Chain A
Amino acid sequence: MNVFYLLVLSLAAPALASPFLHRRLKFAKISAILGVAIALALHAHAASFSFGELSLDTFSHLLLLVALIDAAVALVGFADPSSEYPQAASLYSVALMSVLGVVGLAYSGTLTMLLASWALFSVSSFALLALSKDKFSAAGAVKYGLMSIASSSFLLLALSATAVAVGGLQMREASVSGSLLLASLGLLLAAVGFKVGVFPFHAWLPDAYGVSDPLPVSLISALSKSAAVLALYKLSLVTANVLGESWLRLLGVAAVLTMTYGNITALLQKGFQSILAYSSIAHAGYILVGVAALSLSGRAKELALAGLLLQLLAYSFGKTGLFLAARLLRRSGAAPLKIEDLKGLGVKDPAVAAPALILVLSLMGMPPLAGFWGKLYLFLSVVESAPWLTALALLNTGIGAAYYARLVKSIYFEPGAPETLPYRSVRAALLACALATILAGLLLPFVLQTP
């Protein structure tokens, strides 16, 4: 339990100190990376526990581990380009706050703790987006913020309905089922789902991810997914078993709608970032498949947990890396990239193109990369209880391959000479993402081998 306080301290101290270090930006950078690194080290040794407001189990532990590693990589990537931002020190401060929000979600043991952490993460994430201070980011950040406020009412409603149903703020398993509990799940889906782009609460996401400065997006897109999965997972402990079939059906339908919407809309997009944005929506759909399977038991649930972890890992590194790659091609304040801007990257700058290719293939679900195993476990988890869901998810994966292939084609098979910016830290982070994707794909399936 003391670990949690140390964890908060390691993240909050640099976050609070950073705004005063804007004249010594190097200290801000180093202290931010150091803070996340220390948090990572502390968290890695934390054991499962449950006490008071706090609770941590194995799944939350592993999920947070992935989120922290990804955040560390993203913050390393921030190092070079951040100097160009007017309030660079605040950038690190807000980024650390958002990480702290995710930490709080992972450790939350009561509904209030959950709500507070969620609010912290939400506010800091759209603040982070706004700090780029160009017109594209401003529009995205404003829409994100408005939606966030609107959705927070849903979250309050959902949590209070849950509290009523359970009879307290503790997150313990509900005993009676009822339409109130299901309504709370519906509201929760709207409130949490909007963050990752669950249809029809997604509308802000393409405008924010698709046009804003890609640097903050590289961190937010990954952390949002972890935050949403953590929140849904925590609440699944309360209601999933009671709701059973209803949980599976409601979330399954949402999953299909979301992935279909994301994939089909991505197909004909012209912008590189907007393809990534819609692919984020599609991935929210895949992840919802795993969340839907949390109401199952036995082997199916084990598969779902393993799948969620792997898919989150693949998605986090994939999106962090690819948005960073977008930042390498887009000057700050410039208009969003088009797919044509990627042409010839394979020849011009293979050190950027090769890791980007690996990440695109991982998102596509190519074996043996991490993305393949994630999808495999997720889709396998529901194959017995909801075969229709597996079938539709597979169909969607096929559609998705088309636009990922367009990216590969532009990068490697079309002539052109794109300019890349000389950010060494971004290149290093991109490479780290690709290596992590390969290693995880090769090693984790053996570690996670469920009996």
Chain B
Amino acid sequence: MEELLLLSWLAPYIGAGLVLLLHRASWSAKSSAAILSILVSALASSAGAARVVSGHEVHVSITWIESLSARVGVLFDGLSSLMALVVSWLSLLIAVYSYEYMHGEGGETRYWFFFTFFVGSMMLLVLSDNLLTMLAGWEGTGLASYALIGHWFTDEEERWVGDPGRRALKIPMWSEPSHSGLRALVFTRVGDVGMIIGIATLHTILGTTLLENLADGVWASRLLSAGILPAFLWLLFLGAMAKSAQFPFHEWLVTAMTGPTSVSALIHAATMVKAGVYFLLRFAPFLVAAAGISQAASTVHGFLEALAVVGAFTAFMMATMALVSRELKLVLAFSTASQLGYMFLGVSAGALAAGAIGGLTAGFSHLMSHAVFKAALFLAAGAVIHAVHSRFIDDMGGLAGTMRLTAVAFLLAGLSLAGIPPFMGFWTKDEVIHYVSEAGLIIPTILAVVTAALTACYTARVFSRVFLGASRAHGHEPGPAMLAPYLSLGLASAALGVAWPLIAPRVEELLHHSLGVASSKEAHTSPALPGAVEAALVLALISFAATLYAYGWVKVTPYRWVSSSRFLSSLHAFLYDRWLLNGLYYRGIVGGFKAFSSSLYRYFDTGVVDRLYHAVIPRLFQGAASLASAVVEAGYDSLLHRHLVNGFTGLWRLFKSLQTGKAPHYIALMWIGASILLVLILLGWLW
């Protein structure tokens, strides 16, 4: 019976096949096939999670490639069953939302195929018991992400992201869907290459890719004795950083907003971008176990601290960008990357401060709460953009009147994002900051606290600009298939927040059942940095209230102050142009490669290779050929065409002359032949 749990990732794949078969059928038929397949997946993963809650871990495994220890199967432990629940049920809700949202948008088969393909790949990634099938799922999600970002590949202007015509460092700051898809693929692929090298190294040195074989931390001492542990750690987690849009890979997630909003909600907020965090969570107990081995301890600690810095910096940087953005989805995208930074920070700081279980609870709790509230925010934003026909918040305002329920859902989820108690986001962010301060990481703590204030500020700003103030556009509520998913998610984020003190111990207890937690040892304890949690709470409350008041009631227009001050306007431009990183990447990396490639072409290709093939070698062969024809060819020619032919005709004439047609000649020939033969025999020549 446990084999049926394979359906948790197999069912969406089957759904993808069905969608292809139904490509001539109606929208409803395709949608039902897709939604049902995801429902099966959700039910299967619920069944798996129920077994874990009752105390059994489920491990079904069928050997696929023995030598690579690649097995096909499912592994339900504490971490993966919780993650599978989040992924599959959110996918189901967003699939239902898509049924209304994507109706009549074109590319129906493509949309549902890649949607279900994505869900299958994501579930495979989450439930794999080895790194190889995990990588297969990982790349599957990347492919689906690429295809769905570029869903509107005809690149109409209404599908763009960014201000058309705006340039920074002479590089365009707007992005078309097809280009964005490519960017996402390239950015994440850079990380994936590192990850593949890491997995290959593990397999080469340990001979296994099974997660259970990594639990005891022996791998770290093997890698350490090979002298490659630090390089290995960075390479292996490069894929995680790129997938989860951590600095310096965050750029792709911003322009990924060219995809349909349902896709942004599912892939680029709730699930796929969490894959990097999930990978880190999977490894957190192994890393803690490795830190327990004395020689590896300092390397692993250094690595975790560096990850914490990366996470905190990403959180801060993306929050500053969110402050000034004019596009509703972009604000949410910046905020997603920022919150992912919190998760990285949570996992690494938690692991440093309280061992494996600390990292797991801090990282996973925030992952889960973010998945719920950010999905709600995106889905609501989709409804707003749909109603207003614009992606810019300048064109919105006062929508609370016409889209009351949407506004409620957005506000509930937004309060969670802002970290206002007792909403869910408050608890989980609180835990992250708690662990950072306890781990004694001063700069990440400061960044995390400041980011909490910034988060509250931009959340309040975007809510007031869209739903409060003077009405600039006429909105209307969407149909129930769209409304129900995000309303329920918004309510869930409130309800879970209220109930969190009761839920948190249960989650922690479940996470105790994760692979490797038992075998990992407690990490070192550092002096705590007191007051950070309180400071974050106070700052968030103040900045949320102040921003709401300023935009919603006083109706300030900060653009005027900004344009009147030189300093402020250049600061605004710096933030608005995403810290100029987009321009730097294009000028430095893309332009650098272009220059390298064109100079390679100019100097090496035309100068050396072309000359070699088109001048040197031909001349060499010409010389050789003329020499050969002068010396060899003439003789060979006459041998072949004269002497050989003449020889054959001569022989033929000789033989033919024997054939006189006269019987006496024949008999004579026979006698002569026989006589010669006999003479030869008697002389002993043939003896």
B648 at the interface (CB under 8 A from A): yes
Q: A206-B659, A249-B686, A250-B686 are in contact. Are A190 and B670 (CB under 8 A)?
A: yes
B232 to chain A, nearest CB (A): 57
A34 at the interface (CB under 8 A from B): no
Q: A179-B682, A182-B687, A186-B674 are in contact. Are A203 and B666 (CB under 8 A)?
A: yes
- Closest residue to B664 on the A side, CB-wise? A146
Name the B residues within 8 Å of A154 (CB-CB). 674
Cβ-defined partner of B670 (8 Å) among A186, A203, A249: A203
A264 at the interface (CB under 8 A from B): yes
A106 to chain B, nearest CB (A): 27
B567 at the interface (CB under 8 A from A): no
A267 near B677 with CB under 8 A, answer: no
Name the A residues within 8 Å of B659 (CB-CB). 203, 206-207, 265
Sampled A-B contacts (21; CB under 8 Å): A147-B663, A147-B670, A183-B681, A186-B677, A190-B673, A190-B677, A200-B669, A200-B673, A201-B674, A203-B665, A203-B666, A204-B663, A206-B659, A246-B687, A250-B686, A253-B686, A264-B652, A265-B656, A265-B659, A267-B648, A268-B649
- Closest residue to B687 on the A side, CB-wise? A246
A366 at the interface (CB under 8 A from B): no
A190 to B665, CA, bound (A): 16
Interface flags, B644-668, vs A, CB<8A=1, else 0: 0000110110011011010101110
B671 near A150 with CB under 8 A, answer: yes
A387 to B674, CA, bound (A): 27
A253 to B666, CA, bound (A): 21
A201 near B648 with CB under 8 A, answer: no
A187 at the interface (CB under 8 A from B): yes
B684 at the interface (CB under 8 A from A): yes
Name the B residues within 8 Å of A246 (CB-CB). 686-687
Extra 9 A-B pairs, beta carbons < 8 Å, given A246-B687, A264-B651: A147-B670, A182-B686, A187-B678, A201-B670, A203-B665, A203-B670, A264-B655, A265-B655, A268-B649
- Closest residue to B656 on the A side, CB-wise? A265
Interface flags, A137-165, vs B, CB<8A=1, else 0: 00000110011001100100000000000
A-contacting residues, B15-52, CB 8 Å: none
A200 near B648 with CB under 8 A, answer: no
B672 at the interface (CB under 8 A from A): yes
Name the B residues within 8 Å of A206 (CB-CB). 659
Cβ-defined partner of B674 (8 Å) among A182, A187, A264: A187
Q: A147-B667, A201-B670, A264-B652 are in contact. Are A179 and B677 (CB under 8 A)?
A: no
A154 to B655, CA, bound (A): 24
A151 to B666, CA, bound (A): 11
A189 at the interface (CB under 8 A from B): yes
A179 near B667 with CB under 8 A, answer: no
Name the A residues within 8 Å of B669 (CB-CB). 200-201, 203
A142 to B666, CA, bound (A): 12
Name the B residues within 8 Å of A261 (CB-CB). 655
A183 to B677, CA, bound (A): 8
A26 to B648, CA, bound (A): 50
A200 near B661 with CB under 8 A, answer: no
Q: A182-B686, A261-B655, A267-B648 are in contact. Are A204 and B666 (CB under 8 A)?
A: yes
Interface size class of B (residues with CB under 8 A): 20 to 34
A247 to B153, CA, bound (A): 84
Q: A143-B663, A265-B652, A267-B648 are in contact. Are A201 and B673 (CB under 8 A)?
A: yes
Cβ-defined partner of B661 (8 Å) among A182, A207, A250: A207
A203 to B673, CA, bound (A): 11
Chain A contact surface mostly: helix
Name the A residues within 8 Å of B655 (CB-CB). 261, 264-265
- Closest residue to A145 on the B side, CB-wise? B663
A200 near B686 with CB under 8 A, answer: no
A200 to B673, CA, bound (A): 6
Name the A residues within 8 Å of B671 (CB-CB). 150
Interface flags, A186-205, vs B, CB<8A=1, else 0: 11011000100001110110
Chain B contact surface mostly: helix
Name the B residues within 8 Å of A147 (CB-CB). 663, 666-667, 670
A213 to chain B, nearest CB (A): 18
A353 to B165, CA, bound (A): 77
Interface flags, B593-623, vs A, CB<8A=1, else 0: 0000000000000000000000000000000
Task: Kindly list the 7 A-B residue pairs having the minimum CB-CB distance in the complex, ordered from nearest.
Answer: A200-B673, A203-B666, A190-B674, A186-B677, A265-B655, A143-B663, A146-B663
Interface flags, A82-106, vs B, CB<8A=1, else 0: 0000000000000000000000000
Residues of A bordering B, CB below 8 Å? 142-143, 146-147, 150-151, 154, 179, 182-183, 186-187, 189-190, 194, 199-201, 203-204, 206-207, 246, 249-250, 253, 261, 264-265, 267-268
A264 near B677 with CB under 8 A, answer: no
A189 near B652 with CB under 8 A, answer: no
- Closest residue to B684 on the A side, CB-wise? A179
B648 near A179 with CB under 8 A, answer: no
Name the A residues within 8 Å of B674 (CB-CB). 154, 186-187, 190, 201
A183 to B674, CA, bound (A): 10
Most buried by A among B652, B670, B682: B670
A264 to B651, CA, bound (A): 8
B663 near A268 with CB under 8 A, answer: no
A98 to B659, CA, bound (A): 27
B78 to chain A, nearest CB (A): 63
B673 near A179 with CB under 8 A, answer: no
A348 to chain B, nearest CB (A): 31
A440 to chain B, nearest CB (A): 32
Q: A186-B677, A249-B686, A250-B686 are in contact. Are A200 and B670 (CB under 8 A)?
A: yes
Name the B residues within 8 Å of A183 (CB-CB). 678, 681-682
Name the A residues within 8 Å of B673 (CB-CB). 190, 199-201
- Closest residue to B677 on the A side, CB-wise? A186
Cβ-defined partner of A150 (8 Å) among B658, B670, B677: B670
B672 near A200 with CB under 8 A, answer: yes
Q: A203-B658, A206-B659 are in contact. Are A186 and B678 (CB under 8 A)?
A: yes
A22 to B663, CA, bound (A): 33
Name the A residues within 8 Å of B670 (CB-CB). 147, 150-151, 190, 194, 200-201, 203
- Closest residue to B674 on the A side, CB-wise? A190
A342 to B558, CA, bound (A): 101
- Closest residue to B651 on the A side, CB-wise? A264
A267 to B673, CA, bound (A): 24
B581 to chain A, nearest CB (A): 68
A203 to B669, CA, bound (A): 8
A27 to chain B, nearest CB (A): 38
A426 to chain B, nearest CB (A): 29
Most buried by A among B655, B656, B661: B655
Most buried by B among A154, A253, A264, A267: A264
A189 near B677 with CB under 8 A, answer: yes
Name the A residues within 8 Å of B687 (CB-CB). 179, 182, 246
- Closest residue to B673 on the A side, CB-wise? A200
Q: A179-B687, A265-B655 are in contact. Are A146 and B667 (CB under 8 A)?
A: yes
B663 near A142 with CB under 8 A, answer: yes
Interface flags, B145-167, vs A, CB<8A=1, else 0: 00000000000000000000000
Most buried by A among B655, B672, B674, B677: B674
A261 to B659, CA, bound (A): 12
Q: A142-B663, A147-B667, A200-B670 are in contact. Are A267 and B652 (CB under 8 A)?
A: yes
Name the A residues within 8 Å of B681 (CB-CB). 179, 182-183, 186, 250
A189 to B663, CA, bound (A): 20
Most buried by A among B659, B666, B671: B666
A150 near B682 with CB under 8 A, answer: no
Most buried by B among A190, A200, A204, A268: A200
- Closest residue to A261 on the B side, CB-wise? B655
A193 to chain B, nearest CB (A): 10
- Closest residue to A183 on the B side, CB-wise? B681
A37 to B651, CA, bound (A): 46
A354 to chain B, nearest CB (A): 31
Interface flags, B361-374, vs A, CB<8A=1, else 0: 00000000000000
